[in-house]
């Protein structure tokens, strides 16, 4: 399939294609959806976490497939969710954080003892030492293990224009005890996830699917790293469109990721997989027009060069979520995951889910809700840009 064909498939057909929207779907020639057929066997499934963002996407899909689901968590996040499911309380452990007034919490896996499951899906593993303890115990209790990792295990972003694959060398790893400063968890997040992967594989060799998602988006996403764009398009008017219209734009719908994690458990699929969008390159321009056509609002896009945005102190992610500047060159390949059954819903569905969630949260927050880029600030930047164009 050529790049042109892939792009046409992304944009859809007819009037949607002409408008640059992704309303119909991603791949005109994609394989039969594995979700169309039910699982060959009903599983006893353990979900570590299960009540925040990705967790509900996994649980909901597993229940739709007829699986028996048990949740293991602390019981702090959305404790009333899934009242009919078995809930085992415990703790994977936590380190003390004096800056936030948090005390150390010991590992407590007693509620897991004496039980067995066909598979476990781990959405809540971040610290290698704690994942090592839980994976060693569960090695005797589960047949298969799906660990949700991250593409942050790769160090090449912004350094190499080549596609990142599962064979790409990981971020330089040290032994866990050599990471003495853990005060900035963002700086060690990627290496720690890589060490968690290793701990799972060491405990259950050949029985682990290490899933490396990119930006997870859609329903229940409280980070606003994606939903701010549908929300801004919904508001209408003239929008700042950042940088190069052909720049990369990658993300994965939380429902697609959750469903695929369940199917990996069903099929006992092992290995390492990048889990990101899409079968072909999606540009930022296509993404924005997809938002416009999905939401059907009256808005226009004014593309501003990176150099001008930098002068105006408009920063990627901080003010413009999901915008990757020119220096971030790498594209994450997902061919291996697609071959293992990863599928993608139409981007229009993702956009509408994200917008519905954002509007719901905005209504709850009331006056406390703030745009990442305030309307007054956006208007001032656009005015400055138009003035520079008039002066030419």
Q: Phi and psi (nearest 5°) for 267?
A: -90, 0
Per-residue pLDDT, averaged over 19-41, amounts to 54
How close are the terminal C-alpha atoms of the chain, in Å? 43
pLDDT digits (tens, 9 = 90+) for 296-334: 999 999 999 999 999 999 999 889 998 988 888 788 999
Q: What b-and-e string marks burial along 145-156, b requiring 16 or more CB atoms within 10 Å of the CB? A: bbbbbbbbbbbe
| pLDDT in the model for residue 2 | 40
Domains of the chain: 3-391 (3.40.50.720)
Structural tokens at position 8: 């046409």
Separation CA 276–CA 282 (nearest Å): 11
pLDDT of residue 11: 38
pLDDT of 44 strictly over 60 = yes
Label residue 13 by pLDDT band (50, 70, 90).
very low
Buried b (16+ CB within 10 A) or exposed e, 251-267: bbbbbbbbbbbbbbbbb
Tell me the mean pLDDT in the region 348-354. Answer: 97
Mean pLDDT, residues 377-387: 97
Does the pLDDT of residue 133 top 60, yes or no? yes
Q: Please, what is the Cα angle at 83 between 80 and 86, to 5 degrees?
A: 115
Show Cβ contacts of residue 223 under 8 Å, excluding neighbours closer than 6 positions.
none
Span 269-298, average pLDDT: 95
Instruction: Name the DSSP letter for residue 391.
Output: H
pLDDT tops 60 at residue 19? no
Give the helix ranges, DSSP H, for the chain: 3-11, 14-19, 54-64, 128-138, 185-203, 228-235, 254-267, 284-295, 306-311, 335-339, 347-365, 375-391
Tell me, what's the pLDDT at 34?
63
Question: What would the pLDDT profile of 186-195 be if each residue is shown by its tens digit?
Answer: 999 999 999 9
pLDDT tens digits along 79-129: 999 999 999 999 999 998 888 888 999 999 999 999 999 999 999 999 999
Confidence of residue 223 (pLDDT cuts 50, 70, 90): confident
Residue 122, sorted as left (phi over 0), alpha (psi -120 to 50) or beta, turns out to be beta
């Amino acid at each position: 399939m050529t790049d042109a064909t892939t792009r046409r498939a992304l944009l859809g057909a007819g009037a949607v294609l002409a408008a640059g929207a992704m309303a119909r779907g991603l791949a005109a020639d994609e394989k039969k959806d594995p979700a169309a057929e039910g699982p060959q066997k009903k599983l006893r499934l353990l979900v570590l976490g299960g009540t925040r963002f990705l967790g509900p996407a996994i649980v909901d899909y597993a229940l739709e497939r007829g699986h028996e689901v048990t949740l293991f968590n602390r019981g702090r996040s959305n404790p009333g969710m899934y009242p009919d499911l078995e809930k085992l309380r415990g703790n994977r452990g936590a380190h003390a954080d004096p800056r936030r007034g948090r005390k150390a919490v010991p590992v407590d896996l007693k509620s897991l003892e004496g039980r067995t499951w066909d598979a476990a899906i781990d959405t809540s593993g971040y610290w290698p030492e704690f994942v090592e303890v839980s994976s060693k115990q569960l090695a005797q209790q589960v047949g298969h293990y799906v660990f949700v990792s991250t593409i942050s295990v790769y160090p090449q972003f912004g350094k190499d224009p080549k596609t990142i694959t599962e064979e790409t060398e990981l971020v330089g790893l040290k032994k866990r005890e050599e990471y003495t400063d853990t005060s900035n968890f963002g700086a060690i997040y990627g290496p720690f996830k890589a060490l968690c992967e290793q701990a799972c594989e060491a405990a259950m060799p050949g029985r682990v699917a290490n899933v490396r998602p990119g930006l997870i988006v859609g329903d229940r996403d409280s980070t606003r790293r994606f939903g701010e764009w549908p929300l801004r398009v919904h508001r209408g008017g003239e929008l700042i469109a950042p940088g190069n219209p052909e720049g990369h734009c990658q993300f994965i719908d939380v429902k697609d990721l959750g469903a695929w994690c369940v199917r990996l458990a069903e099929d006992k699929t092992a290995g390492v997989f990048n889990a990101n969008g899409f079968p072909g390159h999606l540009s930022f321009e296509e993404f924005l027009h997809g938002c416009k056509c999905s939401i059907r609002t009256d808005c226009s896009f004014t593309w501003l060069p990176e150099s001008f945005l930098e002068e105006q102190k408009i920063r990627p992610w901080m003010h413009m979520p999901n915008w990757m500047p020119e220096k971030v060159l790498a594209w994450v390949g997902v061919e291996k995951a697609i071959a293992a059954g990863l599928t993608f819903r139409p981007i229009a569905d993702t956009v509408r889910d994200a917008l519905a969630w954002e509007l719901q949260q905005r209504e709850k927050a009331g006056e406390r809700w703030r745009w990442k880029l305030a309307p007054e600030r956006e208007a001032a930047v656009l005015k400055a840009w138009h003035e520079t164009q008039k002066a030419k």
